Amino acid sequence: CGFERAFRAWTGRTPAQARSTRG
């Protein structure tokens, strides 16, 4: 569904990276 794409638009990174970095 474009969640990962939207997420990257908001955060500038992928959900996997965000979870890993939490920064």
> How does pLDDT run across 1-23, given as a tens digit for each residue?
788 888 888 888 777 776 776 65
Q: Find out whether 2 and 9 touch, Cβ atoms under 8 Å.
A: no
Mapped to the 3 state alphabet, what secondary structure does 1-23 carry?
CCHHHHHHHHHCCCHHHHHHHCC
What local confidence, expressed as pLDDT, does residue 23 receive? 53
Residue partners of 15: CB distance under 8 A and separation at least 6: 3, 4, 7
- Look up residue 5 and give its amino acid: R
Q: Please report the pLDDT score of residue 13 as a whole number.
A: 79
pLDDT of residue 21: 65
Q: What's the whole-model pTM score?
A: 0.41
